[in-house]
Structure 1
Amino acid sequence: MKKTILACCLTFIVFNTSAEQAAETSLPVVEEAISETPIELTPIQRVETNIQPLVHYKGEETPIFNIEARMAHHKVPGVSIAIIDNGELVFAKGYGVKSVESQEPVDIDTLFQAASLSKPLAAVIALQQVERTELDLYDSADQIITYWGRNTLNDQVNIANLISHTAGYGNPEYLGYAPQQGDDPLGHMPDLMGSLKGEGISAPVHIDDRKQGNWEYSGAGYTVLQHVLEEKTQKGFAELAQENLLTPLKMKDSTFNQRRVATEFENLAHAHINGEEAQGGWHAFPELAAAGLWTTASDYAKFIIAVQQSAAGENDAFLSRQMALQLLRKVNLFAGHGVMVQHSGKRKFFHHGGINYGMESYFAGYEKLGKGAVVLTNGNQGHILALEILHSIAEEYEWPSFNIQQLEVDRVAAEKLRTYAGHYQYQNGETMTVSELDGVLYVNRSEHQRYPVYPNGDDAFIHIQDNSNYVFKKDNTGKIVGLQSSLNGDWYDATKQ
């Protein structure tokens, strides 16, 4: 049920100046007086003023904020949102600034880096090639592409398991490359094959035969998919995406071409880490299928609508109903072939998050209800903010069963949280910092990744963004001496320094 929120409006005078009057007098002209009557907020005003934290503390009233307050809390300078209802784009708006240094405002045409929201587009491009018989969903990919090193490919790798994160590849940290001064701002960035070989700042891509067939989120799998598509079509991925998706869907403010972004586009959001602008403004990626899309919220909404139409059999030019349903077919309880999927029937929705260096995002769309939304941000806590905004949109536009990453927890005193704080070293030499701030525990897994974790049992915490777990270990005196952390079912031990 929707909430009715009323705003009382005091009597005031509205001034308006026409161009002619301004030229003659430069004084404001009284237009009308507004009566002292309550007015009901519009749907979008209710969305903007009903933002709640994802984490609710048991026994405490959940606070409600406006969107600007949550942006400030998460240190996210800029946001762009688009809302879909009844199968149409019904609202789009930009908030905040593109850059804390320039202070230029975000508008609906500002391009954001969509990060892993690139993956659903890459999956659709692959399914389009299958539909045109250029590729087979289950034929081995090793007949198409060349090996780039040992343990990189086998005859079990195919399009289906690449797009469904079940091919056995891991998820290397793609940090991207900041543009540099000079004629070729991205001349230092490796090409796709260089990325696969580990010639840049990312680890080389290898396959783990033991994990093949099991679901494990894999940016590397989508980088291999990009290699497959480029080898098969003999076209660069950016060109392939432009021809098959962006131009047909009239996504005029979207591109995968990193060099065009570096040299041609001006209305760009810049990446921010903890509220400070990243060096170089943003990072470029050779791993286009995994992380390379630049887009606007309105443009990305066109993609969601196209998927919804194809799933209903109403847009075969984009994707046949059979292939659209393949995209949305679950391989486990929460993942499909290119998107995450939850529930079934009319409640079934598809969604995906994105995290690049200082750029984070999220989208959701219902297969059968014509509802959905996109939230793009330019801050490294934007993923959580995006989900908070999506939950407000879901409540206002009556989305059924939308409950991604909401959590109810017991509050732990800040004094106890501080006993977990410190530096921890893993057996492979990597380190992680744990700190307490304003009654919340944070883990720093790298320079730009500081994430809140919340109580999930005795001395146990969970990060709601990726469901990673952290269990702190004590000695016989009760002193914290180490921790175990898990991601995708694998546990790692670290010692407190």
Structure 2
Amino acid sequence: MRLASLPGLSMAVIKRGNLVWTQVHGVVNAGTGAAVRTDTLFEAASMSKPVFAYGMLQLVERGKLELDRPLVDYYRPSYLPRNPDIDRITARHVLAHTSGLPNWGDENKPETLQPAFSPGRYFRYSGEGYFWLQLVAEKITGKGLDALMRELLFEPAGMTRSMFAWDEEHLPDISFGHRGGKAVASHGMRGVMNLILPRATKWGKPVRDWMHEDWLRVAAELQPDAPPVRVRFQNAAGSLLTTASDYARFVSIVCESPRRASWEITDPLRRAMITKQIAVQQGVPLAWGLGWGLELGAPRLRFAHEGNNEDLFTSYATGDAARGDGLVILTNAGSGFGIVQRITRATTGFDPLSFIANMDPPRDA
């Protein structure tokens, strides 16, 4: 960690579906020297996506969302350009990254949001698709992202240290992100929380209960002369705050188990999460399920996901579904990925292809 200029790290290991080991190292802020604790919150970055995908499959099981119904039947955001391929995108396409949408586009430049191919044809990693599905879920349920995921997953699973939206109560527990070994105090939500919290008090609506329209409203108040950045706030693709032990609980839920709680998705949908929907590249044993990347070249199938928020936080989680084993690593610097790779190889004995994969690979058309 010292060699990598990585200030802080939190890890958890599950065996046979049970959390058996947690460990923390380093500091949450290189400037103050405050130590990482087991309950310190890290930005999970793109590891948000499998968590959100699980919630969407819960909605599928409850009959509120259809995997193969076009999302425009539920809600079509005004910023999306007119394109018949967009009108065919479904929740399945979004969760498997086959929508053709870019990772991120600019709502003020419709050409940047055009799909690269007809949905379902190829793999193309897309945060845009997940954000659109988040808006669909809000329209279906009438609840904001964090409130919905608290109801569906966090509270029943005992993930008491997981949230998609920042709030005043947990602000002191959130690790700073680091660049070049130095804490970045103005990153993301941390830089605007002192402006947002008074609005929540004035409105009588806690931040964690806000819907996307509330975030747009506060953005308009804070910067009336600038178009709001719609993905700046709570975001299904990347704003999850969590601990290693909380995320390990989620990994265990995705693994096989002889008993499932009534709130969990049934085995057919759980298996669908970790069943190949699309190859990342043809002829390579790396694929995508519904929310998870799949390492098909391992001795047994491994599901996994990485995360990186602006090179300030890096993270990784992987599980062996058949054995119920798993590993979660959260770090508070972009330099953490080299450490993540070494820990993963040493712990699992496997060298994941996702560590070197191009997530927007060349296509034959």
TM-score category of the 2 structures, normalised to the smaller one: 0.7 to 0.9
Question: Is 2:307 the partner of 1:323?
Answer: no
Distance 1:215 1:281 in 2: 30
1:403 paired to 2:309 = no
* Larger fraction in helix: 2
Are the structure 2 counterparts of residues 362 and 351 from structure 1 closer, same or farther at C-alpha, using a change threshold of 3 Å?
same
| CA shift in 2, pair 1:238/1:103, >3 Å | same
Aligned pair partner of 1:256 in 146, 149, 164: 164
Structure 1 residue 366 and structure 2 residue 283: aligned? no
Q: Quick check: 1:151 aligned with 2:151?
A: no
| Residue 99 (1) aligns with residue 36 (2) | no
Structure 2 equivalent of residue 21 of structure 1: none
**Distance in 1 (alpha carbons) for counterparts of 2:356 and 2:171:** 31
2:207 maps to none
1:105 aligned partner, one-letter code: A
Q: Distance in 1 between matches of 2:314 and 2:103?
A: 17
Distance, in Å, in 1 between the alignment partners of 2:266 and 2:114 is 32
CA distance in 2, matches of 1:356, 1:106: 19
Q: Residue 197 of structure 1 is aligned with which of 100, 107, 120?
A: 107
Q: Which runs of 5+ in 1 are unaligned?
A: 1-70, 174-195, 396-401, 407-463, 469-486, 492-497
* Aligned residue number for residue 242 of structure 1: 150
Q: Distance in 1 between matches of 2:157 and 2:74?
A: 29
Preserved contact between residue 140 and residue 157 of structure 1 (Cα < 8 Å): yes
The aligned amino acid for 2:301 is: K
- Partner letter of residue 210 of structure 1? F
- Equivalent residue number for residue 361 of structure 2: 488
Deviation of 1:210 after TM superposition, in Å, equals 2.2
The number of residues matched between the two structures is 312
Question: Are 1:291 and 2:238 counterparts?
Answer: yes
Q: What is the match of residue 139 of structure 1?
A: 69
- 1:377, 1:342 → 2: CA distance? 22
Letter in 2 for 1:343: L
Contact 1:270 1:282 (8 Å CA) reproduced: no
Selected match of 1:120 from 50, 53, 58: 50
Following superposition, the deviation at residue 385 of structure 1 comes to 1.6
Structure with greater proportional strand content: 1
Quick one: which of 159, 171, 174 aligns to 1:265?
Answer: 171
Q: Deviation of residue 309 (structure 1)?
A: 4.1
1:488 Cα shift? 1.9
Corresponding residue SS for 2:156: coil
Write out aligned runs for 1:389-468 (5 A): 389-395=343-349, 402-405=350-353, 464-467=355-358
- Match in the other structure for 1:8: none
1:341 aligns with 2:310: no
**Other-structure match for 2:205:** none
CA gap 1:385/1:345 in 2 versus in 1, 3 angstroms: closer
Between 164-173 and 296-305, report the one with greater CA deviation.
Answer: 164-173
Q: What displacement does 1:130 show?
A: 0.6
Q: Larger radius of gyration, structure 1 or 2?
A: 1
Give distance in 2, aligned partners of 1:118 and 1:204: 27
RMSD of aligned C-alpha atoms? 2.5
Q: Percentage identity across aligned positions? A: 29
Q: CA deviation at 1:282?
A: 5.3
SS at match of 2:236: helix
Deviations 1:185-232 (A, max 9, x none): xxxxxxxxxxx7359xxx986231525321111111111111111111
Work out which structure has the larger RCO, using CA pairs closer than 8 Å and 6 or more positions apart in sequence. Answer: 2
What amino acid is aligned across from residue 362 of structure 2 in structure 1?
G
- Greater Cα offset, 226-235 or 294-303: 226-235
Give distance in 1, aligned partners of 2:23 and 2:260: 28
**2:242 counterpart letter in structure 1:** T
- Distance in 1, matches of 2:253 and 2:324, equals 10
Describe the SS at the equivalent of 1:155.
helix
SS in 2 for 1:146: coil
Identify unmatched segments of 5+ residues in structure 2. Answer: 191-231, 280-285
The reply to whether residue 308 of structure 1 matches residue 245 of structure 2 is no
Q: Partners of 1:307 and 1:146 in 2: how far apart?
A: 31
- Paired with 2:8 and 2:113, the residues of 1 have a C-alpha distance of 36
How far, CA to CA, are the matches of 2:103 and 2:66 in structure 1? Answer: 25
Equivalent position SS for 2:12: strand
Deviates more, 1:341-350 or 1:373-382: 341-350
* Distance in 1 of aligned mates of 2:111 and 2:134: 15
1:216 counterpart = 2:124: yes
Within the alignment, does 1:383 sit opposite 2:290 as a pair? Answer: no
How do 1:345-360 residues align onto structure 2 when only pairs under 5 Å count?
A: 347-357=300-310, 358-360=312-314
Amino acid aligned to 1:403: D
Distance 1:490 1:348, change over 3 A: closer
Aligned twin of 1:449: none
Q: Measure, in 1, the Cα distance between the counterparts of 2:135 and 2:187.
A: 28
Q: Is the 8 A contact 1:117 1:353 kept in 2?
A: yes
Q: Which moved more, 1:153-162 or 1:113-122?
A: 153-162
The CA distance in 1 between the partners of 2:116 and 2:357, in whole Å, is 23
